[in-house]
Amino acid sequence: MAFIEFKNVIKKFDDNNVLKGINLKIEKGELITLLGPSGCGKSTLLRCLAGLEEVTSGEIYLDGENITNIQPQKRGIGMVFQQYSLFPNMNVYDNIAFPLKQKKVSKEKIELKVKEALEMVDLVGREKAYPQELSGGQQQRVALARSIVQEPKVLLLDEPLSAIDAKLRKSLQEKIKYIQKELGITTIFVTHDQDEAMIMSDYIHLFNQGNIEQSGTPVEIYTNPKTKFAAEFIGHYNIIEKEAIENIFGTLDVNSDYVAIRPETIQLSKDKINDFDICEKATIISYLSHGNVLRYTLQCKGIKFKADVLFRSFTLYEVGDTIYFNIDKYNILEVSENAII
């Protein structure tokens, strides 16, 4: 049996079916991510595992034990919330010591453990500070320390970095990943940010409308999306109807109604290149700079494509330029309209 197992978990809020029969297994020590847009059910699943929401039907197992009806405080699960949720009347030390005091751990042991936790999140010297005196990043590190100090069986992270600025978020992503590997805690990370999911996870479960749309390693999901939704959500893919694409490129060996093309697999050139399976003329409609990448929108026989090109001077094209659109057939992926469950 897997370390964590969801068996046909259904959760309804009145008539709204938020989780539509989730079956999911998570192995010990993994860092997995539940990824999906707002309202897809990922946080609800996390809250069901934590015990903060009751499941409508189905069962949840943790380490072989059915925890479906066990109270949250008895599940041995730690959780970090998006809003930090530090206790405002307690300083950093007391916040981190709180779960240990609940377990009636001796004062000496509490001191030792809090010190270790503070070292782990680089907050030594801030023990006496109150939450309102800390930055968002520091508050979230305290929340993380407070959760790991109780040595939970599972650590749940519910969009913990959403309220933190981009630069700090990157360093915290690394910190969380480092701590998770160091302690070997089974960790479930919830996010709506696909880049964050790719950076953090050993395994990603992509959610859509209360179902798991696709599961796999970050590379698998990115390079081989199975559905239109997965392709659109994870990698800014060009999603094109099979008929439309066959009008341009000729007959393709594709069984689905749609194909997906990753923008960076399209190569643009001023001159014709014969090394590619497909080479067609296209016109540049617009472009946007994404830092080191330029995203061109181009039109080829009435169909618009996005193509990503590394920002180097010789790859700069202007709006209205006629260029060549090059791609290999193996980069044209077939995707189904809906998930096959």
Partner 1 sequence: MKKNILLDKVIMLFISIYLLLPLILTFIYSIFNEWTSILPSGFTLKYYIQVLTDPLFIASLLRSLIISFIPVLVCTLAMILVFYVTTLYFPKLERIIEILCTIPYSIQGIIIAVGVLSLYSGIGGMLSNRFLLLVGTYCIIILPYVYRGLKNSLNAIHVHTLIEAGQMLGCSKPKAFFSIILPNMLSGIVVSMMISISMIFADFVIVNIIGGSYFQTASMYLYKAMSKSGQITSAIIVVLFMTTLLISKIVTNIENKTKRKEK
Provide the mask over 84-103, with x wherever binding to partner 1 is found by CB under 8 A and - wherever it is not.
-xxxxxxx------xx--xx
Least distance to partner 1, CB of residue 24, Å:
21
Considering the complex, what minimum distance in angstroms separates the CB of residue 89 from partner 1? Answer: 5
Considering the complex, what minimum distance in angstroms separates the CB of residue 165 from partner 1?
A: 21
Strands 4-13 and 16-26: antiparallel
Residue from 36, 78, 160, 263 touching partner 1 (CB under 8 A): that is 78
- Comparison of 146 and 262: residue with beta carbon closer to partner 1: 146
Cβ pair 214, 231 in contact under 8 A: no
Residues 272-311 that bind partner 1 (CB under 8 A): none
Q: In terms of CB distance, is 16 or 71 closer to partner 1?
A: 71
- Residue 190 as a binder of partner 1 (CB under 8 A): the answer is no
- Cβ 287 to partner 1, closest distance in Å? 43
CB-nearer residue toward partner 1: 52 or 244: 52
Specify the DSSP class assigned to residue 276. S
**Nearest-angstrom CA–CA distance, 153 and 52:** 17
- In the bound state with partner 1, the residue whose beta carbon lies nearer, of 133 and 195, is 133
Taking the complex as a whole, the smallest distance from the CB of residue 139 to partner 1 amounts, in Å, to 12
Tell me the per-residue interface mask from 122 to 151 with partner 1, x by CB under 8 A, - otherwise.
--------x---------------xx--x-
Min dist. Cβ of residue 146 to partner 1 (A): 7
Question: Which residues between 243 and 272 bind partner 1 (CB under 8 A)?
Answer: none
CA 98 to chain centroid, in Å, comes to: 30
Shortest Å, Cβ 68 to partner 1: 16
Apex 255 CA angle, 251 and 260, nearest 5: 80
The single residue among 2, 10, 52, 199 that binds partner 1, judged by CB under 8 A, is 52
# binding residues, partner 1 (CB under 8 A): 26
- When the beta carbons of 47 and 262 are compared against partner 1, the nearer one is 47
What is the smallest separation between the CB atom of 136 and partner 1, expressed in angstroms?
15
Among 40, 50, 212, 282, binds partner 1 (CB under 8 A): 50
Burial 67-93 (b: 16+ CB within 10 A, else e): bbeeeeeebebbbbebebbbeeeebbb
- 199: tokens are 């950076």
145 or 231: CB nearest partner 1: 145
Please give the residue ranges that form the binding site for partner 1 (CB under 8 A): 50-52, 71-73, 77-79, 81, 83, 85-91, 98-99, 102-103, 130, 146-147, 150
